[in-house]
Structure 1
Amino acid sequence: MIDMTDNIPAVPIRDEMIRLGQFLKLANLIESGAEAKEVIADGMVSVNGEVEDRRGRQLRDGDVVEIGGMAAKVEAPA
C-alpha cells in the first residue's frame, strides 16, 4: 500500500502533541494567531481530510493539516 502522505512536508514538534492553532503558525501555513482563528472558524482547515473548527484540537504524530492547497504533517519526537 502506498502512503499518500510521503510527499507532504513533515514539521517537527517538541512534545507528543500540539494544538492546531500553534501548528498552523509553526508550519508557516498562516502568519498569526488571529489569522489561525479566522481560517479555522471559516472552515478552511482540515485535519486528516476532515474540516476542523476547533483551534485547540490536539494534533499528534502523523496528523496531516491542510489549508488552501498547502499541507503539513505533524512529526513528534520518537
Structure 2
Amino acid sequence: MEHKVTIHDDYITLGQLLKEVGVISTGGAAKWFLQDNPVRVNNEDENRRGKKLYPGDMVYLEDFGIIVIEKGEIS
C-alpha cells in the first residue's frame, strides 16, 4: 500500500516520519525501531533516524508499505 506524507519544510527526518505515520509513538523510539525493523529509503537500507528525507523520496517499511514524501503548498 502506498501512503503520502506532505511536508512544508525542505525535509523531514526519518524519525519524524515514523512518528508522523504512527509507526512509533515518540521520536525516541525511532532508534530501537530502526535496529529491529528493515527500512529502505530509495531502495537502499537505512537505519539512521536523522536521515533527511526530501520531496520525491520513497520509504519502504515492512508490514506498512511505501511512504512517498511530497512538498506541500505554503499558504
- Which category of TM-score, normalised to the shorter sequence, fits these structures? 0.7 to 0.9
Partner residue in 2 for 1:22: 16
Aligned CA RMSD, in angstroms, stands at: 1.8
Partner residue in 2 for 1:4: none
How many residues in Structure 1 have an aligned counterpart in Structure 2? 72
Any stretches of 5+ residues in structure 1 without a counterpart? 1-6
1:72 aligned onto 2:57: no
Any stretches of 5+ residues in structure 2 without a counterpart? none
CA contact (8 A) 2:37 2:62 kept: no
Distance 2:30 2:60 in 1: 12
Distance 1:55 1:18 in 2: 10
Query: TM-score, normalized by length of structure 1?
Result: 0.75
Percent identity over the alignment? 38
Query: TM-score, normalized by length of structure 2?
Result: 0.77
